[in-house]
Chains A and B, each alone.
Chain A
């Protein structure tokens, strides 16, 4: 495992009784990146994260976090990690400050309390409020603050924006970028594609306990199919365009307009189109959500 690899799993298998949650998961997260872990509920995102912190024990496979085996050195791993669980529960009888001071004490009082106040201010979070009086969204803010307060090397965040309003979601995403800028590695799970697309440099798509795709976000989007609508000043031979590698004709139209589908780079198509009298050109760039759904569509077809 290289020094640049912060998280590494190989052949990770996890059973809950008779139910298999992970099927030999292989994952690698590099130092200093924001890695988005995508998948719907029940795909194995939370199970993976909990294996990384030794909250649950994998049945098979290798796990390394920050170069350490979490099962052998759980305390050392957790000392350098900030974690936000997907299902956040806090002691209701404490105040926000009481809860954060308790978490800070568990870390040997290494947290930066000025930074805590700064984070609380950015989230408009009242430190004196009792936890039991907080809304779900405000509890989530406490969770984010406790994960960040000691400026960890690695952030493991399970659905960090869950329950937050759009403004606060943006604030969390800004904080993730700031953490990365400060040298931290961010590994976060989500099923909200737009936020992953907004901050993650690389994404992994997990499906039924298996990692089906890992790629740079931009590459994944560029590599995907895109639809292109072209209008010409006069009718053209659609067969010429259909022969361009990666291009297929979805609708030939009347020769003056046609709908094409392009897989991969569009360079070849554009160079071919340069020889024709083009009057309009529209391209539909797929969102990460569409790409993600495509993996699940393929899965549904397999099931059928």
Chain B
């Protein structure tokens, strides 16, 4: 499992650095900008209040723009689940199905590697890679905050990243589960992506339309705290997201342990691969 983990992580270094440094640079740009925003509070307040509430539903509360947590929510954390979520979904859906479809999994599993070692080694690499990206971004924020009036303690600054990590793990493992159920990696990524976007819209719109509250309860992003986590992490929400991720992981593992490994170049199974009792299959064949 250690070899699988190290190899999978080594393959992700480029992505970790690209995503981590890009978003850290965005943070490095946003933090000093807070000083400018704060100095023009009166003029900006008037401008912001002229925007419709439907727009603010997606980014947070305009009245909190001049607090550190409000500013970070509006400018950064509100849309991060969508941006980094795409990375998590692509990585999660390709964790096993990607190599299976390009044919390399066949040879790896012909070595003395159990399916459990392969599955959990790669899953651990995915979790570490995702955490590493968020760590680099967090570090970027914390370093630049030394030269800004946007002064948040390093440990409190870590809390919204923890909330974001839980969301990313959930969507990554959901994509992994879907890749075990659906005919191809692409289909899994597409469905997981649609669920992510739908969750974002439902959660956001529920802030202005109370009729959506019931639906929003089932939306994972409803339990994402965004920059508000700086004031304190909601442990129940955080653990709830992790628990859902664990359920997806267990189901994905169950599917992977019982399915056939596809032959390289085969692309994807037809829908008919879905588990049917052997007798039913035989009667169909005859």
Interface residues of A (CB under 8 A from B): 15-20, 46, 50, 53, 55-57, 59-60, 74-76, 78-79, 81, 83, 85-91, 93, 102-103, 105-108, 143, 146
> Across the interface, which residues of B come within 8 angstroms of A60, CB to CB?
278
B104 touches A90 (CB 8 A): yes
Q: How far is the CA of A78 from the CA of B115 in the complex (A)?
A: 12
If A18-B284, A105-B3 touch, whether A57 touches B260 (CB-CB below 8 Å) is: yes
Contacting residue for B282 out of A15, A83, A91, CB 8 A = A15
A300 to chain B, nearest CB (A): 22
> Across the interface, which residues of A come within 8 angstroms of B115, CB to CB?
74
B108 touches A106 (CB 8 A): yes
B180 to chain A, nearest CB (A): 15
B107 touches A90 (CB 8 A): yes
Can you list 29 contacts pairing A with B, beta carbon distance less than 8 Å? A15-B282, A17-B269, A17-B272, A18-B285, A19-B285, A50-B106, A55-B106, A55-B110, A56-B260, A57-B258, A57-B260, A59-B278, A59-B282, A78-B109, A78-B112, A78-B113, A85-B263, A85-B264, A87-B106, A87-B263, A88-B107, A89-B102, A89-B107, A89-B264, A90-B107, A102-B3, A102-B7, A106-B3, A108-B112
Which among B102, B115, B260, B261 has the highest number of chain A CB atoms within 10 Å? B260
Q: How far is the CA of A223 from the CA of B181 in the complex (A)?
A: 51
B235 within 8 A of A: no
Interface residues of B (CB under 8 A from A): 3-4, 7, 11, 102-104, 106-115, 258, 260-261, 263-265, 269-270, 272-273, 278, 281-282, 284-285
A106 touches B113 (CB 8 A): yes
> Across the interface, which residues of B come within 8 angstroms of A20, CB to CB?
282, 285
> Across the interface, which residues of B come within 8 angstroms of A88, CB to CB?
103, 107, 264
> Across the interface, which residues of A come within 8 angstroms of B113, CB to CB?
75, 78, 106
B265 touches A55 (CB 8 A): no
> Across the interface, which residues of A come within 8 angstroms of B102, CB to CB?
89
Q: How far is the CA of A90 from the CA of B104 in the complex (A)?
A: 6
Q: How far is the CA of A99 from the CA of B190 in the complex (A)?
A: 31
A17 touches B107 (CB 8 A): no
Q: How far is the CA of A105 from the CA of B273 in the complex (A)?
A: 33
A140 to chain B, nearest CB (A): 12
If A18-B272, A106-B112 touch, whether A59 touches B107 (CB-CB below 8 Å) is: no
B260 touches A107 (CB 8 A): no
Q: Which residue of B lies closest to A91 (CB)?
A: B104
Other than A78-B112, A79-B112, A105-B7, give 6 A-B pairs with Cβ distance below 8 A. A15-B278, A15-B282, A20-B282, A75-B113, A88-B107, A106-B3
Q: How far is the CA of A91 from the CA of B264 in the complex (A)?
A: 12
B247 to chain A, nearest CB (A): 25
Q: How far is the CA of A192 from the CA of B268 in the complex (A)?
A: 29
Q: How far is the CA of A108 from the CA of B1 in the complex (A)?
A: 11
Q: How far is the CA of A153 from the CA of B263 in the complex (A)?
A: 25
Q: How far is the CA of A83 from the CA of B106 in the complex (A)?
A: 10
A55 touches B109 (CB 8 A): yes
> Across the interface, which residues of B come within 8 angstroms of A18, CB to CB?
272, 281, 284-285
